[in-house]
């Protein structure tokens, strides 16, 4: 069984930055119910998102991932998984738990992640700072790499219409991979 927790230092840095404004506000206007309530909210968010835990359980044939004490916990059976592969997140994937154009993203810090593709087409990107060990904990049958049809050099040029000159496609300005 594989189990690893990645500390969410990016989330904590953001919370500390926000709390610095809260400290300035408390200094200027004094403690009141609004400032104390917001401070309690920041502490609850810090507890709920202190880290991202990933667990691969061979005996129950499942993978689970969640934040903190169990926030947003998701468990997937190996039977429902089409493939698992190593990916690199970009800045647009952000931190925390969110939906993006690449499917669901669970990320605590950093850019290393695994992508879990389900048989129904749903994708999950799970951030990790232990990518190689996490990938080796999955069964070999799930770690197949899909056949590459077009290389990046071929996808830069659109040659579908023979009567027109090939048109160079634009690069995504937010793709940092």
Question: How does pLDDT run across 94-127, given as a tens digit for each residue?
Answer: 888 999 888 999 999 889 999 999 999 999 999 9
More confident call, 31 vs 13: 13
Query: Is 132 inside a domain boundary?
Result: yes
Q: Is the pLDDT of residue 157 over 60?
A: no
Query: Considering the domain boundaries, does residue 165 fall inside one?
Result: no
pLDDT for the residue numbered 81: 93
In a domain, 103, yes or no: yes
Q: Is residue 34 part of a domain?
A: yes
Q: Three-class SS of residue 174?
A: coil
DSSP labels for 72-104?
Answer: EEEEEEGGGEEEEEEEE--GGG-SEEEEETTEE
Instruction: Give a yes or no: residue 167 inside a domain.
Output: no
Chain segment 51-98, per-residue pLDDT in tens? 999 999 999 999 999 999 999 999 999 999 999 999 999 888 888 899
Tell me whether residue 33 is in a domain. Answer: yes
52 within some domain:
yes
Q: 100: domain range?
A: 2-142
CB half-sphere exposure, 144, CA atoms < 13 A? 8
pLDDT confidence bin for 39, thresholds 50/70/90: very high
Domain count within the chain = 1
**Cβ neighbours of residue 148 closer than 8 Å, sequence gap 6 or more:** none
Asked if residue 150 belongs to a domain, the reply is: no
């Amino acid at each position: 069984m594989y189990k690893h927790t990645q500390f969410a230092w990016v989330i904590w840095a953001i919370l500390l930055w926000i709390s610095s404004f809260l400290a300035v506000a408390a200094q200027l206007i004094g403690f009141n119910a609004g400032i104390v309530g917001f401070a309690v909210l920041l502490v609850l968010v810090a507890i709920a998102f202190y880290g991202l835990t990933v667990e691969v359980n061979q005996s129950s044939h499942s993978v689970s991932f969640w934040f903190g004490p169990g926030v947003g916990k998701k468990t997937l059976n190996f039977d429902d998984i089409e493939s698992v592969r190593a990916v690199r997140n970009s800045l647009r994937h952000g931190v925390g738990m969110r939906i993006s154009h690449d499917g669901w993203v669970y990320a605590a810090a950093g850019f290393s992640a695994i992508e879990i593709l389900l048989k129904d087409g749903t994708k999950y990107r799970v951030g990790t700072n232990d990518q190689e060990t996490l990938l080796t904990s999955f069964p070999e049958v799930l770690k197949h790499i899909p056949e590459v049809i077009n290389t990046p050099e071929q996808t830069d040029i659109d040659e579908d219409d023979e009567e027109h000159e090939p048109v160079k496609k634009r690069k995504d300005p937010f793709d940092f991979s």
